[in-house]
Amino acid sequence: MSESPVERLFGALDRLDVRAAMDLMAPDCKLLTVDGRRAEGTIAVRALLTDFLATLHSTTHRITGQWHQDDVWIAEVEASYELMDRLRITALPRAFVVRHGPDGVTDLRVYGAHEQPLAEHPTSDEELRIDGRWIPPL
């Protein structure tokens, strides 16, 4: 396989295919999203990915840089989203850190440049919004 774990993950996410994304995950996988939501284990990660992808009509992730050291892959990405209401949010900068083991992705962490300032901290149950628009977490 010539694709990195990051490229395979984006392939599944960009098809809005939770099943394909979960096929890449290890049983003890962990997920941290841009908006601070966390999931641990396949049941919780599947639920979080399902919730995220259900809000989207389409998504694309374009890798602008990628590095690999031991079991860690790091990718700089431009993420674009079309929400179910057809609102388009394009070219959001993201950094993905993926730990990959023999059973698949063990840890996926997504970081972005559109988080709220520290002084404007929402509770963990609130959505991340910029200028009144929801910002997708992956």
31-90 pLDDT, tens per residue? 999 888 999 999 999 999 999 999 999 999 999 999 999 999 999 999 999 999 898 989
Q: Which pTM value belongs to this model?
A: 0.83
- Could you give the number of structural domains in the chain? 1
Q: Which residues contact 118 (CB under 8 A, 6 or more apart)?
A: none
What is the span of the domain harbouring residue 17?
5-134
Mapped onto helix, strand or coil, the DSSP state of residue 82 is: strand
Instruction: Look up tokens 């698949």; give the residue.
Output: 104
How do residues 5-44 score in pLDDT, each as one tens digit? 999 999 999 999 999 999 999 999 999 998 889 999 999 9
CATH number of the structural domain spanning residue 36: 3.10.450.50
| Cβ proximity of 49 and 15 under 8 Å | no
| Cβ proximity of 87 and 41 under 8 Å | no
d(CA 128, CA 73): 26
d(CA 133, CA 127): 10
